[in-house]
Amino acid sequence: MDELKQKHRAMWALGDYPAVASDVIPELGEVLVKACNVGPGQQVLDVAAGTGNAAVPAALAGAQVVASDLTPELLATGKAAAPVALEWREADAEALPFEDASFDVVMSVVGVMFAPHHQAAADELVRVCRPGGTIGLISWTPAGFIGQMFKTMKPYAPPPPPGAQPPPLWGDLEHVTALLGDRVTDVVAERRTVHVGNFADGAEFRDFFKRVYGPTIAAYRNLADRPEDAAALDRALAELGDGPDGRDWEYLLLTAVRA
């Protein structure tokens, strides 16, 4: 594994991302499973599955499911808590260890969007999906709350490596359809929001993400010897959390059929 992937794996092992998946956005997995019409007998791959936010409901729907992720700590947490049997597999979204056309459904909930090289990840989603199978994605949008959060953190975070693209671009319909190209048909896309009522105010949102969310933790670690910048980021994230989008986080739900 190259240095960039090692850093990504370590970042997502920071804090407690399972708390975000289970306490803040638990319903997103079920939304995608329903949109992909997952059912008994299907072979399903959840890419960048984390703790199985989509993989578990897919397995509960009767599918044979593989949950793959770059970060083994997340897989271990998901496996320990899963109420149903499925396969947990460490894998890089940009180099999936599966044969061509292996799955009836290939999906990802705010996961594959964080792979640094978007085209490589999209190529893998398409490659492992059988012709006539479904590709389903939920991604935070650039203009939505999480997209704004990444924009807010950008001046304070370590610079991205050469060639890496911003994760929220996956929430831009034009960008993601260009990635998939004419290898898919029947694209259905809809912007939706997930209501988040976990936080009393912006400060509580900020403190939660400082404690549990890998990219936010990494940004603050980058400011360890810059207390004035850390204080500025504190203020900016609290203001964002108090803003009009703080309780309704926009995402793009997209499904497509492998040509």
Domain boundaries, given as residue ranges, for the chain: 3-143+160-196+249-258
Q: At what angle do helices 145-153 and 214-222 cross, to 10 degrees?
A: 20
pLDDT for the residue 1: 57
Tokens 């993989």, residue?
55
Determine how many CB atoms are found less than 10 A away from the CB of residue 52.
29
- Which residue in this structure is represented by tokens 């019409």? 37
* pLDDT averages per 10-residue partition of the chain, 259 residues: 87 96 97 98 98 98 98 97 97 98 98 97 98 98 98 94 93 98 98 98 98 97 98 98 97 98
The yes/no answer on whether domain 3-143+160-196+249-258 falls in CATH 3.40.50.510 is no
Burial class (CB in 10 A: 0-12, 13-18, 19+), 244: exposed
Q: Amino acid identity, residue 168?
A: P
Inter-residue contact 17 to 51 (CB < 8 Å): yes
The conformation of residue 151, written as its DSSP 8-state character, comes to H
Please tell me the predicted confidence (pLDDT) of residue 160: 87
Q: Residue with structure tokens 């999936």?
A: 96
What DSSP string describes 85-103? --EEEE-BTTB--S-TT-E
How many helical (H) and strand (E) elements, i.e. helices and strands, does the chain have?
11, 7
Position 66, amino acid: V
Give the model's pLDDT for residue 13. Answer: 96
